[in-house]
Every structure is written in C-alpha cells, then in structure tokens.
Amino acid sequence: MEIKVGMADLNVCSGSDSITTLGLGSCVGVVLWDPKSKICGMVHVMLPDSTSIRNNTNTAKFADSGIEELLKRVLAKGAKRQNLVAKIAGGAKMFSIQTKTDLISIGERNIEASKKKLRELNIPLKASDTGETYGRTVTFYPETGEYHIKRVGKELKII
C-alpha cells in the first residue's frame, strides 16, 4: 500500500508499504527510518520555524515542530531511537524573482532548518537531494531504505 502525505502533513508506515508526497516544490520531504524494524515516517515541511509565526497549531507545517512530531510518531509505531537515520529531499527554488518578503529563498531555509533540527535530535542525515529549480515527487520504501525521486522530464533518482 502506498500512504500519501499531503502538504503540511505527516504520516508513518512500515514493512512492504511505501510513503509518498507528490509534487514537492520549495517544501521539504523529511524521512525518519529505522532500518532494523523497517519503520519510517515522512513529514512535508512548508516553513522553517514555528516560533516565528503566530498561527502555528499545525505542527506538521514547520521543520522544527514537524520533525519533533514525526519522531514521536515513529517511536510510537515501534521504531528505536538509536537506530534512526534521516533522508531529505525538496527545497527547490521554483521562481527567481525577488519579493519583499523574501519567501523566494524559502526552499533553502527549509533545508537548513530541517538539517538543524536533525542535528539537534542527533539523527544522522544519510542522504539528501535538495535545492535546484525543479519539483519532485518522492516515495520512500522502508523495507529497502530507498528514497525515490521523480522529476518532470528527467530520469528517476534513488538516494
């Protein structure tokens, strides 16, 4: 079965199931995986920092609170804290115009914030495919640990 994660959303899966998020742009798809128990989870991060925004009840939306919440969920599903590794993808710069709010570099800031949170939580970052200027559909397979990245008009990439 393929489990779908929407924008600003998270979920977990295990065994022969897979977990996917379609059409990632400047958002980042962060995966936590326990290779021993084959349990994993994915969060679709939109913004870097929950503390800088008043309207922050959706924890899955932010890199800091989203990865923390995801950690809780994979542990609750039976993953072991010390086995966990991470893979991340996304954070593209879809347009190159300058806006006053500077949200155009948001992809980069999402990547940085995700990496920072993983460091804080002591979860090793095993692989990443980030930045660039194209969208990605990402699927993670907890049985093999493969993170598949599909792009328009380009060949499949596996990290």
**Which residues are catalytic, by number?**
27
3-class SS of residue 29: strand
CB of 117 to other proteins, least distance (A): 18
Q: How many residues contact other proteins, by CB under 8 A?
A: 34
Strand order in the sheet with 85-90: 10-14, 39-45, 28-34, 85-90, 125-130
3-class SS of residue 67: helix
Contact between 136 and other proteins per CB under 8 A: yes
First and final C-alpha spacing in the chain:
21
* Residue recorded with tokens 């995986």: 33
Please identify which residue in 12, 19, 47, 89 interacts with other proteins, judged by CB under 8 A: 47
Q: Which is nearer to other proteins, 27 or 118 (CB)?
A: 27
Contact between 95 and other proteins per CB under 8 A: yes
Binding residues for other proteins, rule: CB under 8 A, are 6-9, 22-27, 46-47, 53-55, 58, 61, 92, 94-101, 103, 106, 133-137, 152
